[in-house]
């Protein structure tokens, strides 16, 4: 049986506490973009309080724009800005 193509969202910091998960997998559909995943996560976990103004996305450890097209096995994270105390 063919394996489903997936992307994963990795949770960090308080996101892991709130979601009680290290990561979730999302089926990769044609034309899936970072923004689609952002919306999906925001809707599934409203307590994360994700908003576009204070969050940035990484795909496979590199900063990525919200309109980036995703490929199979991509790992996405949504992170706060950090500027060093």
Which residues are near another protein by CB under 8 A?
12-14, 16-17, 48-56, 58, 61, 63, 77, 79-85
Q: Taking the complex as a whole, how short is the minimal distance between the CB of residue 17 and another protein, in angstroms? A: 6
- Residue whose CB is less far from another protein, 1 or 82: 82
Residue 72 C-beta: closest distance to another protein, Å: 20
| Residue number with CB closer to another protein (12 or 69) | 12
- List, in order, residues 6 or more apart from 61 with CB less than 8 Å away: 75
């Amino acid at each position: 049986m063919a394996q489903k193509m997936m992307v994963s969202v990795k949770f960090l910091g308080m996101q892991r506490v709130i979601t009680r998960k290290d990561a979730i997998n999302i089926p990769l559909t044609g034309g899936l973009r970072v923004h689609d995943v952002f919306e999906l996560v925001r809707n599934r976990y409203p307590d994360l309080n994700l908003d576009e103004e204070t969050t940035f996305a990484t795909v496979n450890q590199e900063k990525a724009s919200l309109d980036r097209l995703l490929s199979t096995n991509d790992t996405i994270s949504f992170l706060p800005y950090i500027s060093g105390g």
